[in-house]
Structure 1
Amino acid sequence: MSSNGSLDRPLLGRVALITGAARGQGRSHAVTLAKAGANVVIADIADQIPTVAYAMSTESDLTMTEKLVAEHGVRCHSVIADMRDPAAVTAMVESVIEVFGRVDILCANAGISPLYTLQETTRAIWDDTIGTNLSGVFHAIRAVAPSMIENAFGRIVATGSIASRSALTNLSAYTASKWGVLGLVKAAAAELGPHGITVNAVCPGFIDTPMNNHDVYNRLFRPDLEHPARETSEEVVRVGTPMNLGCLPPQAISDAVLFLVTDAGQYISGTGLDVNAGRSVAWSA
């Protein structure tokens, strides 16, 4: 039980900032933490990055997340911010502190997944992917650290991936960014631990979100088919998981996040928590 909350609302009174919250895992995290009692700030670029082949989130998506969060009787504040831009991230955190006075929890979740071969990956694709998935996490952690240090409390969870521990074809920039997330988490945990701050990553497998539900993604899994579909992608995903499961629901990752930011996870820091239906059996350690 959190020192602020109760068994059914362990985050009561806490302030949580979730990036990439307009839809997908970020929306699920925001609603889950709100249900647990946290006041929630949702942030998203809510725009299309030209190097990303699938449709990204919109302002209406962000508005829907805000509505879903508010249904749990907590305060909700939304911000449009590009995680590639350190000034925008700093301004985002400043706005949170202006509204709520502090930041207790950061879910650095914003991410993109451009699907290109190594030779197709241009400098712009590389920069956008690293800038969002890795530099964006760095910008966010650096921005919230002063508030957390001042309050001698903080829970930071970054979004890694199965690509944080393995390699995926046609995802060289994405894979590099997600391996980097784990290194950043360990370094931040070492520096911030003395201030009562834990820093971890969740490393999802294949998750049922818009990032993984589009034609380019389906063709990556079944290039042999003229018309690959969600169902054919699911068949390939199942083969790689000992539990014989396809894409997992976002809630599976949100439950792991909730564990890490409540008192149940207060002694866990500097690690990546794999949630991938057993795909971890392929890792060397």
Structure 2
Amino acid sequence: MSFRTPSAAPEDLAETVALVEKLDRRIVSAQADIRDLAGLRTAVDGAVAELGRLDVGVANAGICVPAMWDRVAPELFEYHQSVNVTGTWNTVMVAAPHLVAAGGGSVIITSSAAGITVHPFLVPYTTSKFAVRGMAKAFAVELGEHNIRVNSVHLCAVRTPMGGGDVLGIIGEALEAHPNLGGMFTTILPLEQAEPRDIANTVLFLASDESRFFTAHELAPDAGAPGTDRLRCPDLAAWEVPGCRRWLRRVWTPSGSARSSPCSNTWTVPGTSPSSPGARSRPSGPCSATGTPPSSRDRATAGCSWTRRRCSKGRSGG
């Protein structure tokens, strides 16, 4: 069985090499499968031999293929565990001996917001990311005596090939069938997807001496992912909930829906247009008026509850 998993290409590696060399720094690059312990060890040992030492190891490689629970094949589950869990263990195992030899250092394991809270339609991925969270703590306990810090990073969706395209499409399709779970993709901060630099800055902190008192910790650049405490996402009034609003707008808001503006004056029942009988209006005036609650029939259609809220400055308020 084959799975489509957007990933970095050789051209991306070549670009990274060029950027490092442009700064007049040395870099040793290699292409390896992190599931191949021997091949990974050969690549790392060779780089250390050429550069002299290793101070930081970052286990970042991973995959994410969303699917509703009843569409997860055994091969898909195993694929996530072999790459995200075994591959991460392999990475730490080939890096740690060099950090011990160097007298200390930092190991950084990339987990996910799904490794702290939980997201729907990601059973294999969530399982793997909870596993590497525990792995980081276990390594931290044993490597601490060598002055090696081990921490995990728990990021939200990032604007990369893995954070968009087919992944968002599959999740969007699943949300159409299960709209009551949409709230689990909301965030506290009214931010869109993270940029790669947001995560890189977190990793840079953990790699530096500025984090010398951090070990066995989870750092989460996730805009405040709330997890299971926000299960229901009000589809009819998506402008009310900042994170939910943005997810619906980006992934599965029907084309042409008035919700394309978070403070638009109309909202729609899924599958209707703003001019259809299912549509309702808000009083005019951008971001200032209280919304008009839908009928009981419309609430049942959307599978959500309704609360009156006031929108101001492009964000919803209490």
What band does the TM-score fall into relative to the shorter chain?
Answer: 0.7 to 0.9
Alignment of 1:28-177 (within 5 A): 51-177=2-128
Q: What letter matches 1:264 in structure 2? A: E
The equivalent position to 2:197 in structure 1, one of 251, 259, 275, is: 251
SS at structure 2 position matched to 1:174: helix
Structure 1 residue aligned with 2:269: none
Structure 1 position 261 matched with structure 2 position 212: no
Distance 1:87 1:123, change over 3 A: farther
Q: What letter matches 2:146 in structure 1? A: H
Distance 1:192 1:223, change over 3 A: closer
CA distance, structure 1, for counterparts of residue 4 and residue 173 of structure 2: 17
SS at structure 1 position matched to 2:44: helix
Distance 1:281 1:218, change over 3 A: closer
Distance 1:260 1:125, change over 3 A: same
1:91-130 deviation line (CA, Å, top 9, x unaligned): 1221122211221101110010012223322232222211
Q: What letter matches 1:88 in structure 2? A: G
CA distance, structure 2, for counterparts of residue 238 and residue 178 of structure 1: 17
CA distance, structure 2, for counterparts of residue 179 and residue 77 of structure 1: 31
Structure with more strand by fraction: 1
SS at structure 1 position matched to 2:190: coil
1:32-55 deviation line (CA, Å, top 9, x unaligned): xxxxxxxxxxxxxxxxxx643243
CA distance, structure 2, for counterparts of residue 107 and residue 245 of structure 1: 26
Alignment of 1:9-20 (within 5 A): none
CA distance, structure 1, for counterparts of residue 226 and residue 96 of structure 2: 31
The runs of 5 or more residues in structure 2 that have no matched partner are: 177-181, 230-318
How far apart are residue 217 of structure 1 and its match? Answer: 2.0
Task: Please report the RMSD computed on the Cα atoms of aligned residues, expressed in angstroms.
Answer: 2.2
Q: What letter matches 1:141 in structure 2? A: V
Structure 1 residue aligned with 2:136: 185
Higher relative contact order (CA 8 A, sep 6+): 1
Report the identity percentage.
Answer: 29
- The number of residues matched between the two structures is 224
Q: What letter matches 1:57 in structure 2? A: A
1:58-92 deviation line (CA, Å, top 9, x unaligned): 21221122112222221111111001111122112
Displaced runs of 4+ in structure 1, greater than 3 A?
Answer: 222-225, 236-239, 280-283
How far apart are residue 56 of structure 1 and its match? Answer: 2.8
* 8 A Cα contact 1:238 1:246, kept in partner: no
The runs of 5 or more residues in structure 1 that have no matched partner are: 1-49, 226-235
CA distance, structure 2, for counterparts of residue 212 and residue 274 of structure 1: 17
Distance 1:121 1:64, change over 3 A: same
Q: What letter matches 2:202 in structure 1? A: A
The two structures have a TM-score, normalised by structure 1, of 0.73
Alignment of 1:188-267 (within 5 A): 188-223=139-174, 240-267=186-213
Decide which moves more: 111-120 or 151-160: 111-120
SS at structure 1 position matched to 2:81: helix
Structure 1 residue aligned with 2:290: none
SS at structure 2 position matched to 1:78: coil
Distance 1:89 1:247, change over 3 A: same
The two structures have a TM-score, normalised by structure 2, of 0.66
